[in-house]
Amino acid sequence: MSLNCRHDWRWMPLLVAAALLFVDSAKAGTRTVRIATQYGISYLPMTIMAEKNLLEAEGKKRGLDLKAEWVRFTGGPPMNEALISGNLDFASGGVGPLVTIWARTKDNLKVKGIAALNSMPLWLNSINPGVKNLKDFTEKDRIALPAVRVSMQAVILQMAAEKEFGAGQQHKLDPWTVSLSHPDGLAQMMSGKSEITAHFTSAPFMYQELEDKRVHRVLNSNDVFGGPHTFNVVWATAKLYEGEPKIVQAFLAALRTAMKEVNDDPAGSAALWVKADKSKLTPAEAEKIIRDKDNTWTMTPQKVMVVADYMARVGMVPAKATSWKDMFVGDIHDLPGS
């Protein structure tokens, strides 16, 4: 009897391996789509996509079995590294990082924007009462932003410095900038005990900071652009948008659905975002931000060429776009971009 038992157990590893192979084969048709986001309510449409499994639903309509895998980053540069290494399908972030990776990969990986996520201003806030404008910053100040020199905030700060201090002075404030995630930048400036005296950030963090009487706004990015502009965009490589176009079509359809929900139901979208993001904001506070007249939830790229022209002119990127359409996939060329 014991002899038979020993004989049976010897076959167990093979049986287990066979079972696992069967399970893997059953799942072989499922395509995991890796999507990256960052911190803040500006990624609200992506949150709705994730919470309501909109990509999966749109995939089914196109005969695709998709499973979205959502990853959060603190800035554009590490996200671009993950995209280039093949560890991401869709990246999202500011226009600056998109312009950078588009220019550097246009002859190989051919990274392009898929769509915009919003048009929203960015504010540079300060807790230093002596800083009323850019000229008031000194070596004693430190400005927190997502990524030194290359983030959307860093590029806008350079554009603003050039306007304030003159040609060739775009990097004048760069030595005083520090790379910090939005939550960390807020926490350090508000502590009053950190070297961080200013924070160039986005919603909801910029709104939260200004609720404190010690904080005031130094710069509004809309003033630098001369009006409303795109803050966040989504981008991907040609391997995806040319090699697997149905996935991009499903993504765009899901994003349209999410955008419609944000615009049609700000209250419901706010409640969903607060819960999903574990935000300290109340749903009412989040809804107020969503409804702010300066915040537009749209897939249309707006004034992205302002950033692209600047970055090419000062030598930040090796190639210059002639139109916003150079940097975005043809699926959205019917939109009134700029």
Mind listing the pLDDT tens digit for each residue in 131-174?
999 999 999 999 999 999 989 999 999 999 999 999 999 999 99
Whether 5 is in a domain gets the answer: no
| pLDDT for 120 | 98
Spatial distance between the Cα atoms of 40 and 202, rounded to a whole number of angstroms: 7
Question: Is residue 311 included in any domain, yes or no?
Answer: yes
Helices (H), 2-151: 2-10, 12-27, 44-51, 54-61, 76-84, 95-105
Q: Which of 151, 154, 150 lies closest to 177, judged by CA? A: 154
For residues 310-330, average pLDDT: 97
For the cut 80, the answer to whether the pLDDT of residue 214 exceeds it is yes
Phi, psi of 37, rounded to the nearest 5 degrees: -130, 180
Q: Mean pLDDT across the stretch 204-215?
A: 97
Q: Are residues 233 and 328 in the same domain?
A: yes
User: pLDDT at position 6, please?
Assistant: 41
Q: What is the longest distance spanned by two Cα atoms in the chain?
A: 92
Amino acid of residue 125: N
Residues 47 and 104 in one domain: yes
Domain identity same for 298 and 324: yes
User: How many Å apart are CA 134 and CA 210, to the nearest integer?
Assistant: 18
Please tell me what DSSP assigns to residue 180: -
Give the pLDDT band of residue 75 (cuts 50, 70, 90).
confident
Domain tally for the chain? Answer: 2
Residue where a domain stops, chosen among 196, 225, 254? 225
**Mean pLDDT, residues 228-249 taken together:** 98
In the block, tokens 């069967």 appear at: 22
The residues, ordered by sequence, that sit 6+ positions from 240 with a Cβ below 8 Å of its Cβ are: 89, 90, 247, 248
Would residue 62 be called left, alpha or beta, if left means φ above 0 and alpha means ψ between -120 and 50 degrees?
A: alpha
User: How high is the pLDDT of residue 7?
Assistant: 46
Q: Which of 225, 243, 268 is the last residue of a domain?
A: 225
Residues 77 and 152 in one domain: no
Phi-psi region of 203 (alpha: psi -120 to 50; beta: other; left: phi over 0): beta
pLDDT of 77: 77
Q: Which of 225, 257, 286 is the last residue in one of the domains?
A: 225
Q: How confident is the model at residue 28 (pLDDT cuts 50, 70, 90)?
A: low
If you count DSSP H runs as helices and E runs as strands, how many of each does the chain have, helices first? Answer: 15, 10
In a shared domain, residues 110 and 55: yes
Mean pLDDT calculated for residue range 107-115 = 97
156 is in which domain, residue-wise?
123-225
CATH code: domain of residue 38: 3.40.190.10
Cα–Cα distance for residue pair 74/312, rounded to 1 Å: 25
Give CA separation, 61 vs 117, 121, 250, 254, 338, in Å. 23, 36, 8, 11, 32
- 214/234 same-domain check: no
Shared domain check, 266 and 203: no
List, in sequence order, every beta strand (DSSP E) within 76-220.
Answer: 91-94, 112-116, 123-126, 143-145, 177-179, 198-201, 216-220
In a domain, 310, yes or no: yes
Q: Do 113 and 233 belong together in one domain?
A: yes
Q: Is the pTM of this model over 0.85?
A: yes
Please give the residue that has the higher pLDDT: either 253 or 22. 253
* Within a domain: 298: yes
pLDDT of residue 92: 96
Label residue 310 by pLDDT band (50, 70, 90).
very high
Q: Clarify whether residues 322 and 268 are in a common domain.
A: yes
> Is 101 domain-assigned?
yes
* Confidence check: pLDDT of 292 > 50: yes
The pLDDT, as a whole number, for residue 10 is 46
Task: Quote the pLDDT of residue 76.
Answer: 75
Cis peptide upstream of residue 204 (ω within 30 degrees of 0) = yes
Can you list the alpha helix ranges (DSSP code H) found in 11-68? 12-27, 44-51, 54-61
pLDDT value at 107 more than 90? yes
pLDDT of residue 78: 84
Residue 177 amino acid letter? T
In the block, residue with structure tokens 């997502």 = 146
The answer to whether 153 and 146 have CB atoms below 8 angstroms apart is yes
Residue 329 has pLDDT above 80, yes or no: yes
Check whether residue 132 and residue 251 sit in a common domain: no
Average pLDDT, the chain: 92
Q: How far apart are CA 223 and CA 219, in angstroms?
A: 8
Q: What is the mean pLDDT of residues 255-276?
A: 98
On whether residue 15 sits in a domain, the answer given is no
pLDDT band at 18 (very low <50, low <70, confident <90, very high): very low
Which pLDDT value is given to residue 2? 40
Q: Is the pLDDT of residue 22 over 90?
A: no
Same domain assignment for residues 267 and 133 = no
Count CB atoms within 10 A of the CB of residue 271.
16
